[in-house]
Amino acid sequence: MSENEAGTLKVDPHLPNPARIYNYFLGGKDNFAADRAAAEQVLAMAPEVRAAVRENREFLVRAVRYLVGEAGIKQFVDIGAGIPAERPVHEVAQGVDPAARVAYVDNDTVVLVHARALLDRGRGTAVVDGDLRRPEDILDSPDLRRVIDLGEPVAVILIAVLHFVPDGDDPTGIVRRLMDRLPSGSHLVISHISDGGMPDDPRIVRTRELYQGALIFRPRERIESFFAGLERVGPGLVGVASWGGDGADETSWWLGGIARKP
Ligand SMILES: C[S@@+](CC[C@H](N)C(=O)[O-])C[C@H]1O[C@@H](n2cnc3c(N)ncnc32)[C@H](O)[C@@H]1O
């Protein structure tokens, strides 16, 4: 993306941005110098982050395949969907069931522009300008309702996004309000950065600084609590590489899990 495009979109190319940093980690080109500089500082401290981000995407792919193939889910609401990456949710889901439908939700201007260019309409997909902190607005969005029937089970995907919602915004309540609106048989997928029991680790402290405090490393028990009232499926909350994968769990500070609404 050029600086000119940035001007038109009214984004600040000088401020590192989580969606664009993540895009850089994944080897994408939709990022600016400030994003690359922040990402490289993280990688200098913790080179394993690049592999962890890829493992996180692999977890997403395995989760979607499981949900369509084994849980019979046909509808997905992917919140904090990010700049479109390889194997987006609808491609994976429709590879198993061509009737699967996906609403991609994000609150970032750059993400929405890219998503609308690549993912919107005609493929059983919709792109929704929505903020996770206002879950009712997301579910009531006409764009979302075009492809999602809230009378049928839905999988809500919160991959690498809840850790951008501070406790002051009540992330537990947000998840509950989302799931309360959905019928029995709906599923919740979460991946979340954990503090690995070492909240004062200098790498965590410095990474938080690089994200201007926006990235929240939570203890495992706190992440577990987002699944309250739901039935865990599969191995529970584990390192993302371990959920349905055969990889060694080298990323245990990045946890993932899936649960079903009874
Ligand atoms: C690290 S990226 C993850 C992208 C994608 N889920 C994945 O795993 O490939 C986090 C995304 O969450 C989005 N995000 C952060 N806070 C959000 C909020 N309150 N509402 C909606 N999206 C949000 C960011 O814009 C960014 O695109």
Fold of 52-200+218-260: Rossmann fold (3.40.50)
* Structure-model confidence comparison of residues 7 and 75, the more confident one: 75
Query: Are 73 and 89 contacting, i.e. CB atoms less than 8 angstroms apart?
Result: no
Read off the pLDDT band of 19 (50, 70, 90): very high
- Which residue is closest in CA terms to ligand 1's atom 14? 80
Domain boundaries, the chain: 52-200+218-260
Strands 125-129 and 187-193: unpaired
State whether the beta carbon of 132 lies less than 6 angstroms from ligand 1.
yes
For residue 64, the CA-to-ligand 1 centroid distance in Å is 17
Distance, CA of 71 to CA of 54 (rounded, Å) = 24
For residue 45, the CA-to-ligand 1 centroid distance in Å is 23
For residue 23, the CA-to-ligand 1 centroid distance in Å is 11
pLDDT at 186: 98
State whether the beta carbon of 56 lies less than 6 angstroms from ligand 1.
yes
Q: Quick one: average pLDDT of 52-69? A: 96
Say whether 181 sits in a helix, a strand or coil: coil
* Structure-model confidence comparison of residues 2 and 57, the more confident one: 57
For residue 95, the CA-to-ligand 1 centroid distance in Å is 24
Read off the pLDDT band of 120 (50, 70, 90): confident
| pLDDT above 50 for 5 | no
For all residues of the chain together, what is the average pLDDT?
A: 91
pLDDT at 213: 87
In a mutational test of the pocket of ligand 1, which residue from 35, 54, 107 has the highest number of ligand atoms less than 8 Å from its CB?
107
pLDDT at 128: 97
State whether the beta carbon of 23 lies less than 6 angstroms from ligand 1.
no
E-assigned strands of the chain? 75-79, 101-106, 125-129, 155-159, 187-193, 231-239, 254-260
| pLDDT above 50 for 49 | yes
State whether the beta carbon of 85 lies less than 6 angstroms from ligand 1.
yes
Distances (CA, A) of 49 to 113, 163, 193, 205: 26, 16, 11, 15
Read off the pLDDT band of 250 (50, 70, 90): low
For residue 234, the CA-to-ligand 1 centroid distance in Å is 25
Which alpha helices (H) appear in 98-170, and where do they start and end? Answer: 109-119, 135-140, 142-145
| pLDDT above 90 for 101 | yes
Distance, CA of 156 to CA of 178 (rounded, Å) = 8
| pLDDT above 90 for 96 | yes
Lowest mean pLDDT across 84-93, 116-125, 190-199: 116-125
27-62 burial code (b ≥16 CB/10 A, e <16): ebebbbebbeebbeebeeebeebbebbbbbbbbbbb
pLDDT at 13: 82
